[in-house]
Amino acid sequence: MDPVPFMLDWMVSKQVSDADRLLSSEDKEILRQQNQELEAQVAKVKGQMQEAVKMAADPAHHNAQEEEDEEDDDNDEPPEGFGQIQTGKARTSVSAEAYGEWNAKKAFVPPVISKSEEQKDRLKTCILKSFLFSSLESNDINICLGAMKEVNASAETRVINQGDDGDFLFVIESGKLDCLIKLPDGSEKPVKTCGAGDVFGELALLYNCPRAASVVAKETAVLWQLDRDTFNHIVREAAQKKRTRYDSFLSKVPLLASMDAYERANLADALRVEIFTDGQTVVSQGEVGTKFYIIEEGNCLANKNGVQVMSYNPGDYFGELALIKNQPRAASVVSKGTSHLLSVDSEAFKRLFAVNDLLERSSNMYN
């Protein structure tokens, strides 16, 4: 009996066992997920090879499959209205990302950028405020924390340019930046001002499109940069699900009927979910107003001087007058049963909503 194969097997087994002892539980979980992805990819490649054999033997099947694929492709485009702010063509690198060699993905190894404890604390506080990261599991958040890179931008720095390919998104820790859209005459129009906790540059990664706008720092800003690969593997699916959910809901709110998909996406980024139990006070009469609310689920009742004056159902909103007029709350609002409310703070509210239209609507509703 040849002892060489036995010795080789024993050495490989020992090496694996030694390496396993050095891995933390988090490392093992990451490797387990990567193995599952690779196994799924291998199965997919086998299926593609079998399909290729079938298509070679049956041209009619191939033509039918092409028509079906064309229909499927229609579902991968950005939401309606997104193209209104585009000036360039789709990313030239999309085909490489989507189709590769047999569409085979390399095992994803997230980058780990060294940070001080002070940086880690600042970054975690920052991204937990963000729409994109708020629905992630703790392990995924830790991967993003490790992969993000601190970027300091001085006033007037152009961080991204409209029409460029996008390989990063940015989360703002501090400072303000303007989003600018290029007009046909070559001038630029500001369409949004981003502040602490906001994210920009994500649309190019979500939809594989060129940059939809340029972003320029209004003042000194501290940003955190996340690469495309980490975004695609960790953040993208959760972000798409959450954005789709809110876009569908917001499009049915009468107040927001005039917003296009891009504007609703901006609003979705600013929304925060707040859950109230039966009888819990949402706002109190006479207090200073700092938030605007839209009811996602459940019901609320408005009381003025102890008398019920209005009831609110899903899709209804309240709290706008105190923000528009800088006046105390005119009534108290309490939850009737458990309710899920979407809130927008005062700064985002004034940036995103047409105040004159709101004043007219509110006057008609309350009178």
Spatial distance between the Cα atoms of 303 and 89, rounded to a whole number of angstroms: 53
List pLDDT tens digits, range 237-281: 776 777 777 888 888 887 777 777 777 877 877 788 889 999 999
Q: Is 253 helix (H, G, I), strand (E, B) or coil?
A: coil
| Residue 59 backbone phi and psi in degrees, to 5 | -60, -35
According to the annotation, is 237 in a ligand binding site? no
| 91 labelled ligand-binding | no
Question: What is the tens place of the pLDDT at every residue in 97-139?
Answer: 444 444 444 577 889 999 999 998 899 888 877 767 866 778 8
**Is 202 annotated for ligand binding?**
yes
Domains for the chain: give ranges and CATH numbers. 117-250 (2.60.120.10), 271-366 (2.60.120.10)
Mean per-residue pLDDT of the chain: 77
Q: Output the pTM of the full model.
A: 0.50
Q: Which of 160-164, 181-185, 318-322 has the lowest mean pLDDT?
A: 318-322
Please indicate if the annotation marks 236 as binding a ligand: no
Residue 1 burial by Cβ neighbours in a 10 Å radius (0-12, 13-18, 19+): exposed
Q: What is the pLDDT of residues 191-221, one digit of tens each?
A: 888 888 888 998 888 888 899 899 999 999 9
Identify the residue with better confidence: 61 or 168: 168
Confidence of residue 55 (pLDDT cuts 50, 70, 90): low
Please report the pLDDT score of residue 128 as a whole number.
Answer: 77
DSSP 128-158: TTSTTTTTS-HHHHHHHHHH-EEEEE-TT-E
